[in-house]
Chains A and B, each alone.
Chain A
Amino acid sequence: MKHLLSAADLDADTATEILDIAGEMAAVSGREIKKLPTLRGRTVVNLFYEDSTRTRISFEAAAKRLSADVINFSAKGSSVAKGESLKDTAWTLQAMGADAVVIRHPASGAPHRLAHWVEGSVVNAGDGTHEHPTQALLDAYTIRSRMGVIKDLHVAIVGDVLHSRVARSNVLLLDTLGARVTLVGPPTLVPSELRSADGGVSYDLDAVLPDADVVMMLRVQRERMTDSYFPSAREYSRRYGLDGARLRRMPEHAIVMHPGPMNRGMEITPEVADSPRSTIVEQVTNGVSVRMACLYLLLGGKA
């Protein structure tokens, strides 16, 4: 594996290998000494053009637990604010000897461009409304550790699918791993071209819930909404928000996921978010292990 740009680049074997290695990494994270010497002397640059707390911290923790050197670069207060182009920034990173660049960028496709300009590995940590492959991997890891399997599960992805790179990467990866995905949301926010191979689209959350093994709630991305996609927040939350009553309509074994950050009271009520069937905190923990596995596969061998 040279880069990790899209969940579509992963075949079932590679994805499963990442999840297996993540399991070993998770064991390390449970020890007193949470550190491995594996990537000693390698440099990982976190290049963040967009605000992010958990993803940046997660990648930083992952790289540090593998003993890599980490350089954090955020667009605010850097030369980018002075107008430096992505290409010039890339050359700077190249000159500093970055072995891997983890990039978060508001423009879809930016990581692909970057991959042409630097010699090291590029990891897509979220690009615009396009993809967020490590989030899909950590979601798959979370599903597998809670449910035992992924194949043939029914996963409902609910909410603002249109603007969601998390949804896009999840559809691709879950398809590869053999799950059935149903996209649920208001017609204005569910692009029909994204539906998975044998899944479907529904505009009625209550019809989907009784048959779902996994319900993945998406954040309503107000910052990306330039048009009016739904009449009001209240109406959205009444039709597509997950509350206690809807949680009780789900099968006993079904779990609730959310990539964070949550709009509590909008797409998910605190009762659901804090219930034992919610995996939201586990997802954050698993994120570090999965990113350690990805960094190992990208940097752990001959360049």
Chain B
Amino acid sequence: MSLLSVDSLSTQYPGAAGTVRAVDGVSLEIAEGETVALVGESGCGKSTLGKSLMRLVTPSSGRVRFQGRDVTAMSSKELQLIRRSVQMIFQDPFASLNPRQTIRTILTAPLAVHGVSGRKRREAIAAQMVEHVGLPADALDRFPHEFSGGQRQRIGIARALILQPQLVICDEPVSALDLSIQAQILNLLVEMKTELSLSYLFISHDLSVVRYFADRVLVMYLGRIVESASTSDLWRGAKHPYTQALLAAVPDPSRRKQAAPITGDLPSPHNPPAGCRFHTRCPLATDICRTEDPTFRQLADGHAVACHHAQ
């Protein structure tokens, strides 16, 4: 049984210019111990999808099941219990840490909320966690501003892991960090995954990082998943023209001064193109792409794609 299973999930934002279907009928599964990456450009709905899973944003339709239990139909009390098992790590650790709280308060608060009794016990767990994520022992009495970006992300990770979750949703956890720090944090996340048998949903725009970090990759474009494959299959042969363009757009020494792989801007999510949403930028687009929405179909075992022309 998969740990998390999402079925035709949609999330809409109302707005003056009309409703935006930020997530539009997305289905996915995350198995126990698996790292699934969700990649795409800004506005594709990847962060909204991440937030919709635990109803930080309320989905408009579809189902989310965690360990077989329907999260979308839960009362707020049940939801709180489930949230203990599903935690989040955000891009900007500074914005997600209260500047007026010490690390001790930041780390013990989730324990108190989720009913771990005894202040001494909570502080002991926090002290252990601080050591676990590679922060100095005196970190507990300090404030977020006293730490560097990489150390702040370690605090964010400690806070997410302190309740011993099973699934951690990481939303661009290393994009704000310098390259030399990025490797430290990625290694820490891998270490924690192995030690605590975690599963990750890893939301990222950085394909080089995804290549290293993920077991499976979902590619999103304008609210839809357009390709799903194991990391090795995707790098052996991406099938969707959008995935191919994304991979070809990553700056790389082997492509000295080469032309950009696709032209044109991302269409507005307010008014996505009819037919295949990628047809306005697609080098393979034909008439059928302009009128008919491609279904998400299995090309090979574990490799699915939403494209009329992919083979």
A binds B: no
Residue positions of A touching B, CB distance < 8 A: none
